[in-house]
Amino acid sequence: MDAQILSWVVFLPLVGIPVILLLPKQRPDLVKWAALGTAAADFLVSLYLPANFDSANPGMQFTVTLPWIESFGIYYRLGLDGISLFLVLLTTFLSMLSIYSTFSAITEKVKGFYISFLLLQTGMLGVFVALDVFLFYVFWEGMLIPMYFLIGVWGGPRKIYATIKFVLFTMFGSLLMLVAILALYFLNRSATGGYSFNLFDFYQLALPLSIQVWLFLAFALAFAIKVPMFPFHTWLPDAHVEAPTAGSVILAGVLLKMGTYGFLRFLFPLFPNATFQFIPLLAALSIIGIIYGALMAMVQKDVKSLVAFSSVSHLGFVTLGLVAMNLQGWQGGMLQMLNHGVSTGALFLLVGMIYERRHTRLIDDFGGLTKGMPIFAVFFMIITLSSIGLPGTNGFVGEFLILLGTFRTNPVWAAFATTGVILSAVYMLWMFQRVMFGEVKNPANAGLPDLNFREKAVLVPLVVFVFWIGIYPNSFLKNMEGSLADLLNQVNRRETVLRSLPSQSWSEFLSAGRGTRSQAAVPVKPSP
């Protein structure tokens, strides 16, 4: 099993699809259990990964390499390292919980919903483990289709507007990235004479800064839209507000991380010199995102769009940690990706639970819910505290490491970013007060049933992670440290080596031919 474990993890969700198709339409309950069973099986299989993960090995593990379209140098190439390990686990974990959370919410076109969901799961997992850039792109784009349907079919009143906006926004960035990928492909061909989409071959390209800049911009735009960084964030509130709960959970919990993952896996190591050129810009956008997202969250009327804007703020922390370009920033950033998945995922689940009871998400429609729903109140409070980074919860460790890493790079950035810590308390606690505290003024809020068994079962595992990461984050930090340290070294080393390259234009580089690579060959870790 070891050899193909990643293939199993990625494609196991697809196994559920024919089962769902064969089940009778009149039995939606069976369909739901089949979907949950598939996702749970996938989660269990994915646990094989941390159990057998070697944290001392910074390179790719569980690698698979099979020829796919050999004449173009396209391979089916998967691998997992400390960067992708927890993102894969987060995906299988959240998918399972999200599917379980939908049992009462999805009543129409049940089969279609779960088929889309499982397709989406495979797409997301593929993105995190693909090491062939072409394969990566296939997963990256392929994942859009099920997400398009999840929002467009099972969404709210403005679902069509939201889903088209989401897809067009993302496509816009992705297409530029596709162009850049093809450029890399041909640049690599001219440097080595071979056809390859292998990411590790691309890593070795000695691109002059003038070329890096353009490719960097194309990749960065695609990732920045996905994250989303300010000012490319406006698709997010719409998508979240219209998406069904499970869609929001996955969108916030996993999809956004693809952007930040892309920073680490593609953007920084492929274009180290351009990266360092653009760090001030990226840092500025991150800090603006932190503060701007928080301020916008503060004035939202809809809980879901509040959480959406809070994501802009939290992801601003993540990108800031990444552009700090040191180990604390990166580990904090990676950890914060997981934290955001856990906490914001849980927040969307919680919002979904009261939405199912009240069919509204407007803050003003609520008030005094604690009285009737004390258990809900406890969960909501814990997740709120995690979201505002209270020490002892997961949010603190991530945020603190990010700020610490940022402070080492530039104390002024850290000072601005730290105001986000104040603002997050403002918007979250204000919202919490208006929804949960006070007297029950609206009779519709009286006598709401508290959480049922299924709802508690969805939330408890998330709360476990809130405290696990908060109290003993080393289980996570230790496993990601090796790969991140290695990558950081590689980026820094290549940045120094490549800085001495003469400035070359595209045509010069392409015509210089094979010599280029050997002249500036840079030792990097061997490709798997």
Partner 1 sequence: MDLVGLIPLLPILGFAAIGLGGRWLPKKAVSILGPGVVGASFLMTLAVFFQLFSLPPSERRVVTSLFSWVVAGNFSVDISFLVDPLSMVMALVVTGVGFLIHVYSVGYMGEDPGYRRYFAYLNLFTFSMLCLVLSSNFLLMYLGWEGVGLCSYLLIGFWYEKKSAADAGKKAFIVNRVGDFGFALGVMLIFTTFGTLDFGGVFSQAPALSTEGGQRIATAITLLLFLGAVGKSAQIPLYTWLPDAMEGPTPVSALIHAATMVTAGVYMVARCHALYLLAPFSMAVVAVIGALTAIMAASIGLVQNDIKRVLAYSTISQLGYMFLACGVGAFTAGIFHLVTHAFFKALLFLGAGSVIHALSGEQDLRKMGGLRKYMPATYTTFLIATLAISGVPLLSGFFSKDQILSAAFFSPQGGNFLWLLGIVTASMTAFYMFRLFFLTFTGGCRASEEVQHHIHESPHSMTVPLMILGFLAVVGGYIGMPHALGGVNAIAGYLAPVFADLPHLPEPSLGMEYLLMATSVVVAFLGISLAYFFYVRSPQAAERLRQNFLYTLLLNKYYVDEIYQALIVSPIVAGSRWVWERFDLGIIDGAVNGSARLVEKLALRGRQLQTGYVRQYAMAVVMGVVIILAYLVWG
Sites of contact with partner 1 (CB under 8 A): 165, 168-169, 231, 234-235, 292, 295-296, 298-300, 326-328, 331-332, 368, 370-371, 385, 390-392, 396-397, 400-401, 403-404, 407-408, 411, 414-415, 418-419, 421-422, 425-426, 429-430, 433, 436-439, 471-474, 477-478, 481, 485
Q: Which two tokens stand for residue 179?
A: 């162009």
Q: Which is nearer to partner 1, 290 or 436 (CB)?
A: 436
Q: Which is nearer to partner 1, 139 or 169 (CB)?
A: 169
Give the DSSP H or E segment for 425. helix 411-436
Q: Is the distance from CB of 327 to CB of 468 less than 8 angstroms?
A: no
Q: Which is nearer to partner 1, 390 or 524 (CB)?
A: 390
Nearest CA to 439 out of 373, 364, 376, 368 is that of 368
Q: Which is nearer to partner 1, 15 or 426 (CB)?
A: 426
Q: Which is nearer to partner 1, 18 or 449 (CB)?
A: 449
Q: Which is nearer to partner 1, 393 or 527 (CB)?
A: 393
Q: State how far the Cα of 17 lies from the Cα of 101, in Å rounded to an integer.
A: 19
Q: State how far the Cα of 99 lies from the Cα of 212, in Å rounded to an integer.
A: 42
Q: State how far the Cα of 357 lies from the Cα of 355, in Å rounded to an integer.
A: 5
Minimum separation from the CB atom of position 394 to partner 1 (A): 12
Query: Which amino acid, 286?
Result: S
Minimum separation from the CB atom of position 411 to partner 1 (A): 7
Minimum separation from the CB atom of position 427 to partner 1 (A): 9
Minimum separation from the CB atom of position 178 to partner 1 (A): 19
Query: Quick check: helix, strand or coil at residue 61?
Result: strand
Minimum separation from the CB atom of position 388 to partner 1 (A): 8
Q: Which is nearer to partner 1, 111 or 434 (CB)?
A: 434
Q: Which is nearer to partner 1, 248 or 370 (CB)?
A: 370
Query: Which amino acid, 315?
Result: L
Q: State how far the Cα of 496 lies from the Cα of 101, in Å rounded to an integer.
A: 49
Minimum separation from the CB atom of position 225 to partner 1 (A): 11
Minimum separation from the CB atom of position 426 to partner 1 (A): 6
Query: Quick check: helix, strand or coil at residue 440?
Result: coil
Minimum separation from the CB atom of position 120 to partner 1 (A): 24
Nearest CA to 485 out of 527, 525, 520 is that of 525
Minimum separation from the CB atom of position 455 to partner 1 (A): 17
Minimum separation from the CB atom of position 439 to partner 1 (A): 5
Q: Reply yes or no: is the peptide bond before residue 231 cis, omega within 30 of 0.
A: yes
Q: Is the distance from CB of 151 to CB of 243 less than 8 angstroms?
A: yes
Minimum separation from the CB atom of position 3 to partner 1 (A): 33
Q: State how far the Cα of 294 lies from the Cα of 307, in Å rounded to an integer.
A: 10
Q: Which is nearer to partner 1, 279 or 327 (CB)?
A: 327
b/e 203-214 (16+ beta carbons within 10 angstroms → b)? bbbbbbbbbbbb
Give the DSSP H or E segment for 54. none
Q: Which is nearer to partner 1, 48 or 468 (CB)?
A: 468
Q: Which two tokens stand for residue 71?
A: 């004449």
Q: State how far the Cα of 234 lies from the Cα of 130, in Å rounded to an integer.
A: 29
Q: Is the distance from CB of 240 to CB of 305 less than 8 angstroms?
A: yes
Q: Which is nearer to partner 1, 172 or 276 (CB)?
A: 172
Q: Which is nearer to partner 1, 123 or 152 (CB)?
A: 152
Q: State how far the Cα of 199 lies from the Cα of 185, in Å rounded to an integer.
A: 10
DSSP state of 106: -
Beta bridge partners of 184: none
Q: Which two tokens stand for residue 377?
A: 């109140």
Q: Is the distance from CB of 228 to CB of 235 less than 8 angstroms?
A: yes
Give the DSSP H or E segment for 80. strand 74-80
Q: Which is nearer to partner 1, 136 or 476 (CB)?
A: 476
Q: What is the CA radius of gyration of the chain?
A: 23
CB under 8 Å to 263, separation ≥6 — which residues? 223, 319, 322
- Greatest Cα-to-Cα distance within the chain, rounded to the nearest angstrom: 77
Minimum separation from the CB atom of position 56 to partner 1 (A): 15
Minimum separation from the CB atom of position 285 to partner 1 (A): 13
Give start and end residues of each alpha helix (H) in 102-158.
110-129, 133-142, 144-154
Minimum separation from the CB atom of position 467 to partner 1 (A): 11
Q: Which is nearer to partner 1, 140 or 396 (CB)?
A: 396
The Cβ of residue 45 has, within 10 Å, a number of other Cβ atoms equal to 15
